[in-house]
Amino acid sequence: ENPTYEEVCSGTTGHYEAVQITYDPSVISYGQLLDIFWRQIDPTDPGGQFHDRGDSYRTAIFYHNEEQRRLAEASKRALEASGKFDKPIVTAILPAGPFYPAEDYHQDYYKKNPVHYTAYKKGSGRADFIKKHWGEELRKQLRRRLSPLQYEVTQNNATEPPFHNPYWNNTRPGIYVDVVSGEPLFCTLHQFDAGCGWPSFTRPLHPELIEERIDTSHNMIRIEVRSKASDSHLGHVFDDGPAPTGLRYCINSAALRFIPLEEMEKEGYGA
């Protein structure tokens, strides 16, 4: 009863590592939650998930009533019939038992430890697996969720108009997160007015969450800046910035979501 995380990981307690979701059915349906769930896992793996091996890492859907059980089983049958995977779907559908919250340091882990979380998601093979099996569906979802400009900038490397974007002259303290994935990318502490009409920063908040690539488009040689977690285009970095870095990260507002300092804790990013 109420085991520790280490005890669960030992494989001796019979518990699963799980997430308990409280949702408002007027905002999102149980069926939509099931669709999201399938797109985050390898449902054909009977021994764990990616680098996490052992019974506690097996996938399962825990239902709280007969309607949830019916919907979960129908969703699983639909996935099997889709031919998306060559192997059998082994995710179990089980009645929900007592749920014991993990220790505090596990709560909102991806927000508290974005660098490690992003590196692990990619290094474990999970990110590539999701992209391989669900890439086209995810792009369709992004088209629905993002504005046309946000989609063109992040997915097709477009550039928004200078001076006609929301953050180029922002002076409120806070952070900027990836509009696609939510990873914290830049901070107003490092923002400056470069006179170019786009948000400019001397450095990223977590360099490990940024990927830089050579960009030879438009008959120029530039360094493109992308979000490592979502592989979204953000902008470019130049070597004409102020001290102490001498760099200017010129970023599209459309690739970012601004979270004011006073709302960071409520949004789960701390203060």
236 is annotated as an active-site residue: yes
240 is annotated as an active-site residue: yes
Q: Please identify which of the residues 45, 178, 250, 257 carries the catalytic annotation.
A: 250
70 is annotated as an active-site residue: no
Q: Please identify which of the residues 55, 196, 203, 222 carries the catalytic annotation.
A: 196
3-state secondary structure the chain: CCCCHHHHHCCCCCCCCCCCCCCCCCCCCHHHHHHHHHCCCCCCCCCEECCEECHHHCCEEEECCHHHHHHHHHHHHHHHHHCCCCCCCCCEEEECCCCCCCCHHHCCHHHHCHHHHHHHHHHCCHHHHHHHHHHHHHHHHHHHHCCHHHHHHHHHCCCCCCCCCCCCCCCCCEEEEECCCCCEEEEHHHEECCCCCCCEECCCCCHHHEEEEEECHHHCCEEEEEECCCCCEEEEEECCCCCCCCCEEEECHHHEEEEEHHHCCCCCCCC
187 is annotated as an active-site residue: no
9 is annotated as an active-site residue: no
248 is annotated as an active-site residue: yes
Catalytic residues: 196, 233, 236, 240, 248, 250
